[in-house]
Structure 1
Amino acid sequence: MELMSESEVVKIEMRDIEQPANNVNKVVVSEWYGCIRGNQITQLSERNRQIEKVPPLLLKGPNGQRNREYYEPAVVSLGPYHHGRDNLAAAEKYKLVTLDEFRLSSGRHSMVSLYNKVLEVVHDARKCYIDGSTDKYNDEEFNRMMLRDGCFVLFFIECLANWDKMLFLNNEYLGAMGFANITRDIFLLENQIPFVVLQVLLDLRFRDKGEEILNKFFNYLNYGEITKNKEKVLDDKKQPLHLLELYRSYFISLSCSGLGSINSSKWKIWRKKNDVVVDEDWHYVKRNRSFASVTELKAKGIFVRSNDDNSNKDIKFYSGCCYGELELVFRAVYSNSKAIYLNMIAYEMCPHNPNDFRVSTYIRVMKSLVIHHEDVRELRHSNILLHSLGRDEEVVKMYDEIDAPAVNLYMFNQLREGIEKHCSNKYKKWAAELINVYFSSPWKTVALLVATAILFTSFLQTYFTIRPLPDDSNGDLLKLLRRCVHSKPPSAPA
């Protein structure tokens, strides 16, 4: 090996790529920073957004190992990632049945016309999956997969949204347990159909009523009943990547064009605009620390109440002169809720996807509020939570087993700061103790009034014993006072 002498000059040629890369990176950083700070993002940079797989780091640790099954389909595979698994073979036969039912319900459309319509977007759909995951399927095979899977999803959504009796066709081919897991499977991150395919089938089947069907279905997931709200589900300017992304935007009350944005007026901002950003803004532990649970907040004079305005799904906190109110939106929790929450969080953890981590933040708030079964009971009595998990302890266990690795610290910190500011006020703390100790029930209130009456009459007796009233100088009024003074005070209830 020949060594260079000290007199030799070494030149390293570097291409001039710093400026273009720097510009691109600044745009990307600006988008993420805007999302985290809750700013409205009007134009996202061009990026290759794909249907990602679950980040491997979410599968590590005790909860990750325990929750691994919630990321894999139990009944039906949708898309190429889990296609061909032996335990999902029964659903492949049932897809042919739903395909035929979807064609019949579409009226004038033949199977060939359905196939050709999906074929028009098959190349766009293929780009939505990770590179290499669709290579073993030619265009015809991939198109048939998209057609069968898309019709399966929309047939199930339509039957459930309209409570059609054809819904029980699922029991015939998949059994009752299979039917119970379909909702879970169609919201798995790795089990998504590109929405460009679903949009084509929606237009063919429902024309201008596709949004109404999705609205009813999402309301069923959120509130446990099939209702129709006036909220807009679809956005004409930007199409969601898949159904899970669309439901997430509906869950957090955001339109598809505004993914990653937040209306800051819905979250109580406690700092003044002219305040200097303190070091705590970048102190992860301080900003991410938990606050008190529901029952602990109640003891400190903060009561939870349901948000009656379903168009506003944010968590809000109001601090009054004597008590505070934590406003939460009503949610239904059932057997599939854990899987849906985990996969929405997994979607938020994926790269190339600027978002504000609002589902993760919501779960983080609920993990702080729900510690004991008494907390779940308070939420039930306040008409904030409805669950079908049997015992309240199961709800506590569900939230405890869901990890939220990254949350929006700005949103979470605003809520926590407002609560801590209220709890640190000694006058509000005294008012809370007075309410909880003496006015928490009608019997305690009555006992307090009786005790006050006893104390008052005892004071009058002592006072007039020391300073007796003049003899008949004031007529009937003095006689009445003298009678009250010498009468025995009523006994307190046992």
Structure 2
Amino acid sequence: MVAVFNKDLLSWYLVTLKLRETLESGIATSPNSATRSIEFPEQSQQQLQKHQQEPLESLQITIKDDCEKLEEETNSPDFEWVISIKEKLEQARQDDVACSWAKLSIYRVPHYLREGDDKAIVPQIVSLGPYHHGRRRLRQMERHKWRSLDHVLKRANHSTKLYIDSMKEIEERARSCYEGPISLSSNEFVEMLILDGCFVLELFRGATQGFKQLGYPRNDPIFAMRGSMHSIQRDMIMLENQLPLFVLDRLLGLQLGDPEQKGLVAKLVLQFFDPLMPTDEPLTNSDRTKLESSLGWKTTFDPLSDQGGLHCLDVFRRSLLRTGSQPTPKVWIKRWSHANRVADKRRQQLIHCVTELRDAGIKFKKRKTDRFWDIKFKNGSLQMPRLLIHDGTKSLFLNLIAFEQCHLDCGNDITSFVIFMDNLINSPSDVGYLHYCGIIEHWLGSDAEVADLFNRLCQEVVFDINDSYLSQLSEDVNRYYNHRWNTWRASLKHNYFSNPWAIVSLIAAVVLLLLTFAQTFYSAYDFYRPQ
């Protein structure tokens, strides 16, 4: 659509159109006129002049009317506003025509989760994908990406044309995975996929096979298991810093000579991001073997084979929620209102805090499992696995929550767990008691920082507890908490049986009370029945 805001230009544009129509009509009738001029030269000459005058007069009248009408419209104060609305509607139609919402899987983190501090969601060292491509502070890593590509080409003895042609085939599919229009041209986008993809695969393979085996020196500043690798892992797990998994599969297949292979990248992802697991310690070889058998894969594992276009963050999330059937959510509210219910901030209170639950007699015990989300409640005891909190936990949980909030085909298990922990932890004393029980192990400065971490993670997240896998457990805990006898028994135990000296004091008080009662009884008995 062409929008012309200059009145003079628009007037000349209309005049040109009319002249063009007139000339075309004159050309269309020229053979008859020529024939008639040969037969009747004088008469045809007069008729030709008459026919030429009539269109010119009608053209002048039409142009004058159009100019007057145009002048009235352009003088209207709403003229530019109307043009702007039409342009926006036209853009909306184009967006609907080129709609790719079904393939969207790599999102921008919503503003309500950013907290004003972008370090947890914006890469600090390396950019992957188009969202942060070309940022000035991240350009230093670009030369190392080119180095990784050079190593790949030399090792496989391939030409760059092979990778360019392969990425050209899946360019549109890769673009559809990202949110919003991508400003990169076709060549720039393909170059980015090749550079970033080969860089990621070199890190994956180096962490598994050893960077020395891939041809990198021991003192390489990037391709070595150094302290910077932890920061690179944090950047690579961010939602806005992802590459589609099928792009990595295609690039790895080209290097191995099998472009159609799938599943190997997912296995490399699990091994590379294993240190970020929020469990007590990284998986041992035997634990990893158990994980593979529980997932049902050996060498061709592809957890996303039925969902194209997902990424490393999604693979990592699935590995966190591995094995075992999770309890189904239970609706607390009446069924007739379930269809019309909307997630409400006031309905996010799953459970009381640790201090209040302790006052009700609920005990906390550590479970021996690496599934941090697997929480049980039995006979007044809340059993929780050990949770490791480090400096990357906030970024990890925040990006997982953002992915669950944005992706329609994704559950909310991580969000449910974090909100559950947010309800349990209200103060540093709650963290201190969980640490005393062996449930929380943290590398942060103080218990107050851990409490602040969980209290801020889901501060703006709107969540419905009826969709939580912990809803049934929370209902059981709250039922136990609301029983008065449990509270009285807990208070008695806390006040009089908390330590040996309190027990001795209680026994002495009871004995003294019995002796006093016996003395009183015999005194009254002697008074009424003397010997």
Whether the TM-score (by the shorter chain) exceeds 0.5 is yes
Aligned to 1:96: 146
Aligned to 1:431: 489
Matched, 1:145 2:192: yes
Query: Equivalent of 1:188, from 238, 246, 267?
Result: 238
Matches of 2:411 and 2:451, distance apart in 1 = 25
Matches of 1:278 and 1:345, distance apart in 2 = 30
Q: Is the 8 A contact 2:274 2:282 kept in 1?
A: yes
Matched, 1:244 2:313: yes
The SS at the match of 1:401 is helix
| Distance change in 2, residues 1:311/1:371 (3 Å) | closer
Shift of 1:327: 3.0
| Distance change in 2, residues 1:285/1:337 (3 Å) | closer
The SS at the match of 2:186 is coil
Aligned to 2:84: none
Shift of 1:245: 1.9
| Distance change in 2, residues 1:169/1:209 (3 Å) | farther
Which is bigger in relative contact order (C-alpha 8 A, separation at least 6)?
Answer: 1
Query: Equivalent of 2:126, from 76, 86, 92?
Result: 76
Matched, 1:54 2:112: no
The SS at the match of 2:416 is helix
| Distance change in 2, residues 1:238/1:172 (3 Å) | closer
| Distance change in 2, residues 1:46/1:147 (3 Å) | closer
| Distance change in 2, residues 1:136/1:263 (3 Å) | same
Shift of 1:395: 1.0
The SS at the match of 2:364 is strand
Gaps spanning 5+ residues in structure 1: where? 1-44, 256-261, 469-494
Matches of 2:405 and 2:364, distance apart in 1 = 30
Alignment RMSD, CA only?
4.1
**Residues 46-81 of structure 1: CA deviation (Å, up to 9, x unaligned):** 92324222224444xxxx22x333222111110111
Task: Indicate the percent of aligned positions where both proteins have the same amino acid.
Answer: 27
Q: Is the 8 A contact 2:353 2:430 kept in 1?
A: yes
Q: What letter corresponds to residue 387 of structure 2 in structure 1?
A: R
| Distance change in 2, residues 1:387/1:97 (3 Å) | farther
Q: What letter corresponds to residue 137 of structure 1 in structure 2?
A: S
Q: Is the 8 A contact 2:280 2:370 kept in 1?
A: no
Using the size of structure 2 for normalisation, the TM-score is: 0.63
Gaps spanning 5+ residues in structure 2: where? 1-99, 296-300, 527-531
Shift of 1:464: 8.8
Q: Is the 8 A contact 1:71 1:189 kept in 2?
A: yes
Aligned to 1:400: 455
Matches of 2:425 and 2:482, distance apart in 1 = 22
Shift of 1:381: 2.7
Q: What letter corresponds to residue 108 of structure 2 in structure 1?
A: K
Aligned to 1:390: 445
Matched, 1:344 2:413: no
Q: Is the 8 A contact 1:314 1:328 kept in 2?
A: yes
Q: How does 1:353-432 map to 2 (within 5 A)?
A: 353-402=408-457, 403-410=459-466, 411=468, 413-432=471-490
Name the count of aligned residue pairs: 400
Q: Is the 8 A contact 1:170 1:179 kept in 2?
A: no
Q: How does 1:99-248 map to 2 (within 5 A)?
A: 99-100=149-150, 110=158, 112=160, 121-133=170-182, 135-138=184-187, 141-160=188-207, 171=221, 178-201=228-251, 210-222=265-277, 223=279, 225-227=281-283, 228-229=287-288, 230-231=290-291, 232=295, 234-235=302-303, 236-239=305-308, 241-248=310-317
Q: Is the 8 A contact 1:156 1:167 kept in 2?
A: no
The SS at the match of 1:433 is helix
Aligned to 2:353: 293
Shift of 1:397: 1.8
| Distance change in 2, residues 1:53/1:426 (3 Å) | same
Query: Equivalent of 1:263, from 326, 337, 340?
Result: 326
| Distance change in 2, residues 1:339/1:226 (3 Å) | same
Matches of 2:221 and 2:497, distance apart in 1 = 53
